[in-house]
Amino acid sequence: MDKLREAFDALRSGKFVLIFDSDSREAETDMMIASEHVTFESIRTLRKEAGGLICTTVPAEVWKKLDLPFLAELFAESYAKHPVLKVLAPNDLPYDTKSAFSLTINHRRTFTGIPDADRALTISEFSKLAKGLNGLDPALAREEFGRNFRAPGHVFLLNSQPGMLDDRRGHTELASALLKMGGMFPSATICEMMGDDGKALSKDKAQDYARRYGLNYLEGAEIIEAWQSSKWSQ
């Protein structure tokens, strides 16, 4: 539990935490930060030090209120009009049964949306919007969302499952659950760590990176165990 408390303290202060899912899943390490603490410097770090796809997780109560579809489901609804989407269905993933990908967005105050400052603005403003939705009528919430954001964009949204780690155990849920257990708003910005060999960064090298830079490194199993024993899993 000490490792988790240290991770909570790090996340509350706007620092990164590394999460390895499991050897039997993707076997990848993601670098994560609380979305509410994202700055252009943190996007630069994710881009240069992690190197994978920068994504932002969305808690279930938020994506339901904003009507953010799962991309695979949106594609499925378009099979008749675009048959190619059916043959592209992600039904052969050995490590998962449901992709978390939703829409991609840009804040309307961005230009192209891809520079570090643009993505930081999109993520931080989305986090502010998401945190302020409690008690707001869904129609008004969607109107506010559309007033401030456009799609498609350059920030990839990932819809977390309603039961988080009760329903799925990907990095989306691991990072979101970690924030929730730490008393923070459960939206994380995550990025896979890549190696220089053309593959995902190995577990050993990810652990070395964490030690070198004084970052907390957690195994997915540690987060799952804490979740199952906490009030959040009830």
| Catalytic residue set | 30, 55, 95, 106, 154, 192
Cα separations in angstroms, 216 against 7, 30, 32, 223: 6, 12, 10, 13
Instruction: Return the HEC string of 175-193.
Output: HHHHHHHCCCCCCEEEEEE
Query: Token digits for 181?
Result: 């257990």
Burial of 47 per CB tally in 10 Å (0-12, 13-18, 19+): middle
Cα separations in angstroms, 10 against 3, 5, 6, 217: 11, 9, 6, 11
Q: In what order do the strands lie in the sheet with 101-107?
A: 101-107, 149-159, 55-58, 188-192, 29-34, 17-20, 216-219
Buried b (16+ CB within 10 A) or exposed e, 103-126: bbbbbeebeebeebebbbbbbbbb
Contact predicate 206/29, CB 8 Å: yes
